[in-house]
């Protein structure tokens, strides 16, 4: 929703994000009413998760938290998926890093800190934005497995009819 005293450019960004939030909430409500599986993702530290408008919708969702380092990245970048009308992404909770002696439990090396700029001048936070390919593959396989289970259940229902 924002804070007072922002520059015009930052206020425009906040206003756009507020429009996107309200639209997302409408989509979530529509999907919940129709039983359509839906997921909303944002970094774990995002203020989005504490927004009063969204908090009302979160009560009927399942949260999954995952770290990018579990999928081959040298930085942790913890992100959350809240999922409605499905439990398929809950398995991703096992891809959460627990530091051991200051090192990543997956790579056994310290995490890169996402500050400053990478080679080429891009901010590390921008470099870290895209989902790791291995995470995308894992999410796709979990969704596909759930779809297969649902289709098998429908076949069993038809057979028993």
Rounded CA separation 69/132 (Å)? 9
Work out the percent of the chain whose per-residue pLDDT is above 90: 83
Which residues have C-beta within 8 Å of that of residue 88, sequence separation ≥ 6? 37, 142, 143, 145, 146
In the predicted model, is pLDDT for residue 158 greater than 80? no
pLDDT in tens, 129-155: 999 999 999 999 999 998 876 665 555
CA distance 63 to 90: 7
Residue corresponding to tokens 């989005």: 48
What is the tens place of the pLDDT at every residue in 94-128?
999 999 999 999 999 999 999 999 999 999 999 99
Q: How far apart are CA 102 and CA 147, in angstroms?
A: 39
- SS3 call for 83: strand
Beta bridge partners of 145: none
């Amino acid at each position: 929703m924002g804070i007072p005293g922002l520059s015009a450019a930052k206020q425009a960004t906040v206003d756009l994000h507020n429009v996107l939030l309200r639209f997302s909430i409408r989509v979530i409500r529509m999907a919940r009413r129709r039983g359509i599986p839906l997921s909303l993702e944002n970094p774990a530290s995002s203020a989005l998760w504490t927004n009063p408008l969204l908090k009302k919708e979160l009560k009927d969702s399942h949260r999954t938290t995952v770290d990018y380092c579990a999928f081959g990245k040298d930085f942790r970048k913890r992100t959350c998926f809240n999922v409605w009308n499905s439990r398929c992404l809950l398995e991703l909770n096992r891809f959460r890093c627990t530091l051991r002696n200051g090192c990543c439990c997956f790579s056994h090396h310290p995490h890169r800190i996402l500050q400053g700029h990478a080679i080429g001048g891009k901010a590390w936070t921008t470099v870290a934005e895209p989902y790791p390919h291995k995470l995308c593959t894992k999410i796709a396989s979990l969704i596909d497995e759930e779809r297969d289970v649902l289709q098998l259940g429908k076949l069993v229902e038809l057979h028993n009819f």
